[in-house]
Amino acid sequence: MEHEAYLDMAATEDRHWWFRGRRQILEAVIAGLGLPKDAKILELGSGTGGNFIMLSRFGAVTAVELNEIARTISLGKTAAVRDVRAGSLPGDLPLADQKFDLICLFDVLEHVEDDAATLAAMRAHLAPGGRAVITVPAFAKLWGPHDVALHHKRRYEKVELRSKLTAAGLVIRKMTYANMGLFPAAVLMRLTDRLLGRRKAGGDGVPPAFFNEIFAAIFGAERHLIGRVNLPIGLSLLAVVEIVPSIKNQETP
């Protein structure tokens, strides 16, 4: 992403409904993983550190981020996370042979040209029995100005993501859509963007406070469902994966 996009992210990620709702869902998913006390956690592509406070509740956080401005901003998020390293995916991870109980790629994979190599690089740093939580934008047909502005390389179909995770030697423990409640409104917005030939996506930025709170509540409420069921549709895909050597890859609910 451009420097301006990171500055926009830093200005909005604490209050924008999408970031808030996603954090609530991710926190609920991570809480259900049964991580060891004081787990070793790695966030790849940590941006401006919007997840640091949440992740630090589960253990010691190491972060890797390419953009210098984003790294500098992220260090001001919380005193609990000071290990923020310069690096990029897939081939420039300053991690030596470190292994982690939890690795997080939150809406990162779609920014990387070689996503297969990125998943392989992530797997190399996942401890035996550790988990990785990955989120990506869903449905190629929803591609629009929003994706262009954020320098996405792709949006993912469920079967495509499953195939790439499996090919990387990862066992899928959960795969679900997320942001189901706002899916119809988002589809309508994408269609409107296309019909009007917009180069800038409609609905970007933080909406008025009333709507921002409603959207955050709708999105965040999915945290009560995703731990129990896999949602049938949504704007994002969420996967929980791990390494289980010599055990046949099998997705579980």
Mean pLDDT of the chain: 92
Contact 180, 231 (CB under 8 A): yes
The pLDDT tens digits for 55-99 are: 999 999 999 999 999 999 999 999 999 999 999 999 999 999 999
b/e map 173-196, b = 16+ CB within 10 Å? bbbbbbbbbbbeebeebbeebeee
Domains of the chain as residue ranges with CATH? 3-242 (3.40.50.150)
> How many whole angstroms separate alpha carbon 203 and alpha carbon 207?
7
DSSP-assigned letter for residue 114: -
Percent share of the chain, pLDDT over 70: 92
- Residues 34, 38, 44, 48: is their CA dihedral positive or negative? positive
Helix/strand/coil for 44 = strand
Per-residue pLDDT at 245: 65
The pLDDT tens digits for 90-148 are: 999 999 999 999 999 999 999 999 999 999 999 999 999 999 999 999 999 999 888 98
Confidence of residue 252 (pLDDT cuts 50, 70, 90): low
Stated pTM of the model: 0.92
**For residue 207, what are the contacts with CB-CB under 8 A and spacing of at least 6?**
17, 215
pLDDT score of 204 more than 70: no
Could you tell me whether strands 126-137 and 171-178 are parallel, antiparallel, or unpaired per DSSP bridges? Answer: unpaired
DSSP-assigned letter for residue 232: S
Choice between 13 and 204, residue whose per-residue pLDDT is larger: 13
Contact 70, 47 (CB under 8 A): yes
Helix/strand/coil for 82 = coil
